[in-house]
Structure 1
């Protein structure tokens, strides 16, 4: 963005509250108080400024600044007025909480073959006293919609939930979501499996962890083993070793609030990917999803 305000780009200023894109309909959807909370004006910030009178003035000044940023965002097409140019909207449901409990402020999703995915989500809520047992170890689903149509969803269990600062109208939270397979990392075992093939061994272990949404797309023979030893390994490490020995990999398919674990031994079993243009920079001007950066590691 070429236009700057005091050295910061207009985009940075507008998104500094954290509520960007479809989350809360950008600047227009959450209200000034929420944006101030997201930007770090939280808790009893007014008291630190020297009493109620000064706090009121500070809040009023910040409200005016946010309103100016909202107007600027509308002019630049970066949001506001309840409409997002990309049409993207991110929603999250967790446990037994009402669907409108959380507003997604940011998220990061890491996916690999033969590795549990890791989803980290930043949230805001008008409820400053969410009961943690209603969330922890419960099912959560992040849904990505565009123009009201679901594009992608990710479902897993909540393995970490933390509460952050409380602002004028919103409280921030952070949540870690992992697939059910993550539970296999919590137990170590030593035992012998006899007269079973790999699919039967995997199924037995996963059932012990109440994981039943499993599909085997195996195109090559995997003969029965006379015996197979698990020795002082977590169930997860044992499965990783066993599948590697057999040339099997796995991935996750999420839909309709369910998370299916798929084992395969041929790349033909992998769903086709999507084609994305490469456009370096912070934001795409193509009006469609694009790859903005590439990295490599060893």
Structure 2
């Protein structure tokens, strides 16, 4: 795929994907489908999810990054956008495997890496590519959906707006992962529909650990509230939703180091590597997040039994 310059000629894509926190009780998702269908009637639309917790940019980023490598090459729209209508930019990113369209709040970059890295980026300012009237609160409908449809039809990325230096794109803070002599401490990245707890830890941290482990909430020594002048250059107020990380010293829960859920007895905790290649904690026939009192942002310590 070639992207970037205003005079690029590309083969049209056949797919647009949508990932949002819009929910399913209102008409927001249908409206975005409708905007794309009006501009590109034959386009196939894949709904990744519309049940990202409202405003949870980190959760949306994780879902998007873990999903797009398995979708056809296309245009991937993501809208988890607490800063809609503020000076935050709307952007489209070119990658070797397609485009990403959404707010510049950290939502898109992990997915861009999963698709081979950002090759081009533009700010979405060309009024001919947007709705005639752009609402201050519904950029999914008025900005991102029409841009996605045009890109999917083969329009050059460079026509959507001026170029953006990829180094200036907003990045979410890296989740905390710390190796320890007897195991590791890692931040909860996501909790899925089944209550499985995905940690930010890569698989190689779990691999050398023995068959019997202990899991416990870990003390959080990160500053809870950085002063505005102390925030990282690319941090935004919404990059960590209002989900307090657990305090330290919770009860220890025994876990089996296994390969899949059934390697632990029914009702017991198993530490394993999930389908995204990260360490996960699951309960065979149960809900690990409830058992551990874990939410995204919680720090959990996984260690050997002394």
TM-score normalised by the chain length of structure 1: 0.26
Bigger-Rg structure (1/2): 1
**Higher percent of residues as helix:** 1
With a CA cutoff of 8 Å and minimum separation of 6, indicate the structure with the bigger relative contact order. Answer: 2
Structure holding more strand per residue: 1
